[in-house]
Amino acid sequence: MQRPTIGTPNDIGRIGGREPEALTEAELAHQLDPLSPITSMVEGGIYIWARGYDQAIVTCKRLANENPTFAPAHLCLATAYWAKRMYLQVIEEFRTYDQLSGDRNESEFSSALEKGFHSGGWKAAETNAIQTLRARRKTSYAPPFLIATLHADLGDNDQAFRWLNIAYQEHEWRLISLKTEFTFAPLRTDPRFAELIRKVGLPQ
């Protein structure tokens, strides 16, 4: 996945602190190109980063209904449901995303979540997903940022920071979401988090 262009509403929303500006820009883009699913997707993402999960669900459900084959709408829904701890819906949306995208790696991830969840709940789902992603890294690529989010959600802060530092070493663009990723809330009082923000170059 390529890094988004600096200065887009998507970029501004991910960084955080300027959500109203990002929404205004996204709404303007939607007015200029009302048939583009990308602009609605960006709007849904901004609501997620601003903690407006219910509005994100409304936006991305509408997007999915209007564009039945647009896979990213279901990724947006999965993320919003995850933030609301609606785990069955998370798995369902990840599965739908996989079916529409045809990405084998994504399919492995959602299958790992589903199998873990049915055997031992959400913690088992995340543990299983981590194992799957780490196994994939032995032969191909799996984003360390995603592995860090799973560890953070499990409460394993040391492993979360370990994988965030790997993401930094690999120049992973998702690090611009450090301040808005909901799973990182427990990390933000740790001095290591402030140091990572400084290294990445995000506003303090």
Taking residues 41-57, report their average pLDDT.
90
Give pLDDT, residue 203: 84
Domain ranges of the chain: 1-90
pLDDT digits (tens, 9 = 90+) for 63-120: 999 999 999 999 999 999 999 999 999 999 999 999 999 877 778 999 999 999 999 9
Residue 157 has pLDDT above 80, yes or no: yes
Compute how many other C-beta atoms are within 10 angstroms of the C-beta atom of residue 133.
Answer: 21
d(CA 179, CA 27): 23
CB 179 within 8 A of CB 202: yes
pLDDT, tens digit, for every residue of 121-133? 999 999 999 999 9
Confidence grade of residue 4 (pLDDT, cut at 50, 70, 90): very low
**N-to-C CA span, the chain:** 27
Please give the CATH topology (third level) of the domain spanning 1-90.
1.25.40
Q: What is the mean pLDDT of the chain?
A: 88
The structure's pTM equals 0.88
